[in-house]
Amino acid sequence: MAGVWLVGFEYSAFYEGAHDYSDVLELEGEVFDGDVWFRLDGIDSPPPIEPPGAPNPHALSAYYVEIMGRKSLCGGEYGHMGQSSYEVIPTQVLSIRAIPAWTSGGDTD
């Protein structure tokens, strides 16, 4: 499974099949709904990533990730305050790379 992972303060979303910022915009428009929560807890050796939102705590960081894992089969309440309908749980991270347009400034305009 591969896609874009957006992460920030109390926010984490996975866009399967997306490769960069423009793909996410095509999927979401200007509002990032984040219907699929993405979490890395449970991985024995999590990849080194810049802290979410650094240096601006309200900015989003973005990563292109390739993982082995699973997505919840049924809709539910996942993630921060149960705001996501699905969840992706990686069992292994095959690759991860920062998407600089987001990590540098966090501005999505």
pLDDT tens track for 35-85 = 888 877 655 555 556 554 455 666 777 889 999 988 888 878 777 777 788
Domain assignment present for 48: yes
What is the number of domains present in the chain? 1
Q: Tokens 């309200």 belong to which residue?
A: 58
Domain assignment present for 109: no
CB atoms within 10 A of CB 50: 12
Domain that holds residue 67: 2-103
CA 73 to chain centre: 18
User: What residues contact residue 27 under an 8 Å CB cut-off, 6+ apart?
Assistant: 15, 18
Mean of the per-residue pLDDT values of the chain: 74
Strand bridging mode 86-98 / 36-38: parallel
Model pLDDT, residue 102:
57
Domain assignment present for 83: yes
Domain assignment present for 108: no
Q: Copy the structure tokens of residue 75.
A: 């809709």
Domain assignment present for 35: yes
